[in-house]
Structure 1
Amino acid sequence: MRLARSLLIAAALTAAPMTAMAQDAADCMSPTATPTGTVERTTVTSRGRELQGLLYRPARPNGAGIVILHDREGIQRDIERYSTQIRRLVTCGYTVIAPSYYDAVNPRAVNDPMMRDKWLQAIDESIVKLAGIEGVDANRIGVWGHGRGGSLALANAMNGIAARAVVVVSAGARAERGRGSPPLLLIAGDRNPAAPLHAAEQLAVTLRERDIDVTVESVPATLPEFEPATWDAVFEKTRAYFDLRLAPTS
């Protein structure tokens, strides 16, 4: 099964010792912080299909939620890449859902670009699912996507159910036409040949011409597949951005 290994990881994390209280805000992203919260299997229904996924619940919710969108290799590979960093976000108080949006289509069609509308619908349904989770404010939801997931996050931001903020990581995304977009953070490797920084900067120029609030950040990376230290940097920037953009409104 596509999620078999990821769900084994989830079960192991749930069983691992965790403290009852969330870490202080200044310490929650530290590699030495004790992870808090739980992770469990979940499903999202989209166009009559059941999407498998993982739901991370913080020990002390801060009211904000994040939808995590995997790259082209699927949720299993991506969860293995940065599960540690996701748990740090959860320790900071974020409720996180990671849907396998590929489940919205026949497994043989996951590389068919014609399936994208179904994936975008799956993202909308994941936002709705997260908004209904206890402890999540429906007006404080962000979307985070890596690679193909980043391109879909941007496309969804332009035309889907509006998230409050979006983070796009190492994605060859293009500026699509649409109604507009919430604030965007584009993160790219400083020397990544697959998704170069200059491409993110050019995308930002185009989006700003449409009066979209865009920030560009770089992380140290020379290869398309990020090292753990680079993922640490990505999620540090992600946490700082969502702390700002998903903060409660007065």
Structure 2
Amino acid sequence: MFSTRPRRASDLDDRVRAALELGGTHVVEIADRSQPECPVIRRLLVESTTTPARLVIYGANDFSAALAQAAALLGRHVTVCDARPVFATRARHPGAQEVVLMHPAEHLAQEMDAGRIDARTAIVVLTHDPRFDLPVLDRALRADLAYVGAMGSRMTHEKRMQELRAGGLGEEHLARLHSPIGLDVGARTPAEVAVSILAELILVETAARAGVSAASPRTLREVSGDVHDTRRTCAAEPRSPEGAMAWM
């Protein structure tokens, strides 16, 4: 144990809470600036018995393989589900803890009924097939989930929104959908797109912990203050969808 006075206790609380919610073991850095002439960085080991937060990916392709690999590095429990046996293989998804051969809507219903989907769960739809993605999105958007995103062009997005409205989904639920998915970082390759998606997921989760909408991201050199100040990444107004990439 040690005594320290971080500049923002609530910011430290946010980072510890985030580590606890993710589950597993994490290191949180604490900046002690009680003596400005000699700042000290201490590291707090946070170990949680909570099961890791889940990322469920519907649609097996090159993008899902890259996303599973990247998300696993963040400590997520990754599940990839697809109804096509040629694509839903463990060999194609070494980063996933589970690769499930099942109709996506059936899998989501099964997981929800079993209580394995909760408020920490993120769902990403990569199928590009309305037969698969519409039933999943309809149910996922009605639930209290951390993040729901879907890949597709702006044309695909608009058509998808029309279909979801026609199916009875309200605007308050549709507003939860992150589509086109990801932050506008100029990503093109599957690995780059995976970074874009996870960056948006982190931004949304950080804002949710602060109780506000996600802000438009800025680079660290554009802002001042503590690098780990999570409140700087949040704002009262939601991020404009015009900043998202239109993934084909």
TM-score (norm 2): 0.42
The structure having more radius of gyration, on CA atoms, is 2
TM-score (norm 1): 0.42
